[in-house]
Structure 1
């Protein structure tokens, strides 16, 4: 009975109802919620504490920021179903429309911050891109390799700017994007669709210790990430751990090369990988290398390695080449 009382007490405030309405649209930082409801952050933080104590929302710390999303319990879903069954009054509808308009301004600010970051670092990105095949060719090859099976729950390890969730998110049932940089996660959020809701979860974490349960995702992507790993075999083992039976792991990275400046200038821990290395690490993790695709560039070759758990039925059309 106390849980029900906590929930109804938490809902007995118009601002807290507005916060829930906003979080149905997308995950938000505390400051962004304050901006959307037009109240001070200390006041909003008090409302958030009450909602969190009732289990209606969840808080997640990411660097110096705290992000909020709807609680995942059955009680929360029941409350949302109740909201959907009730028609808002004219005053409530007005507040909801005003809050969503301010939420659009939050999205615009995220996009502006992303553009400013890329403008500042454009030369660094362009210097690396000029060495290998065009991004559009890589993305086309990725689509081709992943076309044989449903994406399901997608895990994008080292999401960076969020391009992979922008590319494959619409085809996924659920998306989890992980990065160890809060700045990168803020850039990735600028790529989320306006109707993202709770389909997308962006997490701060380490690719060598994934904060996910065993056998919880269907597709794992590591796009231009593995060369930052001091122990790539551990990263692949973690990807295999969270993969469901019948799932798939796609690694996109450089073939072995000798561009030493990428190690000293761009902090690449590994100067690319050979097919034999990836196949060996896959085998150690219980994965089978199902297909390899090679995309030669100006000075660097991009490789795509697709793996699935040992014993998984083959998908028609996939042959290790």
Structure 2
């Protein structure tokens, strides 16, 4: 009890908790938002982790911090603190700076994919090859459904999905990628597929509009995975299905720069935790093991709960 109360009795640590209640952030993110030195931020984070208020997940040289809102005394008082966060002296300023940071990161990602739109399929395949799983992924889509692919890239998967979907929508945040996808689809006689510009955490769709959401090697680019999953939950109809193909956890730090990756793949346990917290139930998880030199991947299937999670 004393450790928890002592950890909370500091304005900077309360600001950190308020920021991390919005999603997982790194030390680098927090130094930018708060305008403080890394050593100062790290010292406060160490105290909060030691008191069990925060937890940290390591990925390579990066550490992702999050609020541990279900533990001990802090878990009991956390709901009350959340309701009072807006009263902190610098709360409005901190939330504005966080929004600005996330927007800069989105813009940087968009510029990267705009720059590499024409050669993306070849670039990604050469730099980080994975086992061939696409036919297996497409076969998991039930025929006749309303299907959304998030992060269509150059549209390589859309033609195969069109043969099964009753209606197909594709979303990407890169205008250049969408141009490539439109050209590819027009050449295949599939110009009628609905392509839309949008972010995976703010999709241009109405509530419950689709039956299936598919993310193919996209989730590791998500800035805030749980925020994305909440948005996917919103656009799925009750009982709708989420299909995710992505990378298993790895330690290849260089992919952050060369492929604009935010996450070094994922562990099954952390995915299950995020999905459970955002209203999904995992139905199936298949680890994909490729040939020597190919990065491990997985295909995950999850169902949306009957009622949406706010």
TM-score range, shorter chain: 0.5 to 0.7
- Picking from 134, 139, 146, the partner of 1:139 is 134
CA distance in 2, matches of 1:123, 1:195: 23
Give the drift of 1:265.
1.9
Q: 1:151 to 1:294 in 2, by over 3 A?
A: farther
Superposed counterparts of 1:64-79, under 5 Å = none
Are the counterparts in 2 of residues 292 and 303 from structure 1 also a CA contact under 8 Å? Answer: yes
Q: 1:168 to 1:191 in 2, by over 3 A?
A: same
Q: Is residue 294 of structure 1 aligned with residue 287 of structure 2? A: yes
Superposed counterparts of 1:122-271, under 5 Å = 124-130=123-129, 132-133=130-131, 137-146=132-141, 149-192=142-185, 195-196=189-190, 198=192, 200-271=193-264
Are the counterparts in 1 of residues 159 and 190 from structure 2 also a CA contact under 8 Å? Answer: no
What is the TM-score of this pair, normalised by structure 2?
0.56
C-alpha RMSD over aligned residues: 2.5
SS at match of 2:133: helix
2:77 aligns with: none
Are the counterparts in 1 of residues 154 and 178 from structure 2 also a CA contact under 8 Å? Answer: yes
Show structure 1 runs of 5+ residues with no match. 1-115, 313-321
Superposed counterparts of 1:13-92, under 5 Å = none
Are the counterparts in 2 of residues 151 and 218 from structure 1 also a CA contact under 8 Å? Answer: no
CA distance in 2, matches of 1:182, 1:126: 21
CA distance in 2, matches of 1:144, 1:122: 21
2:16 aligns with: none
Show structure 2 runs of 5+ residues with no match. 1-116
Q: 1:117 to 1:299 in 2, by over 3 A?
A: closer
Q: Is residue 275 of structure 1 aligned with residue 274 of structure 2? A: no
Q: What are the Cα deviations for residues 178-207 of structure 1, in whole angstroms up to 9, with x where unaligned?
A: 111111001111232565464x21111111
Matched length: 190
1:305 aligns with: 300
Q: 1:153 to 1:260 in 2, by over 3 A?
A: same
Q: What are the Cα deviations for residues 55-95 of structure 1, in whole angstroms up to 9, with x where unaligned?
A: xxxxxxxxxxxxxxxxxxxxxxxxxxxxxxxxxxxxxxxxx
Bigger CA radius of gyration: 1
CA distance in 1, matches of 2:185, 2:211: 20
SS at match of 2:297: strand
Q: 1:267 to 1:247 in 2, by over 3 A?
A: same
Q: 1:173 to 1:304 in 2, by over 3 A?
A: same
SS at match of 1:117: coil
What is the TM-score of this pair, normalised by structure 1?
0.55
1:117 aligns with: 118
Are the counterparts in 1 of residues 128 and 295 from structure 2 also a CA contact under 8 Å? Answer: no
SS at match of 1:171: coil
CA distance in 1, matches of 2:286, 2:298: 6
Are the counterparts in 2 of residues 254 and 272 from structure 1 also a CA contact under 8 Å? Answer: yes
CA distance in 1, matches of 2:274, 2:121: 34
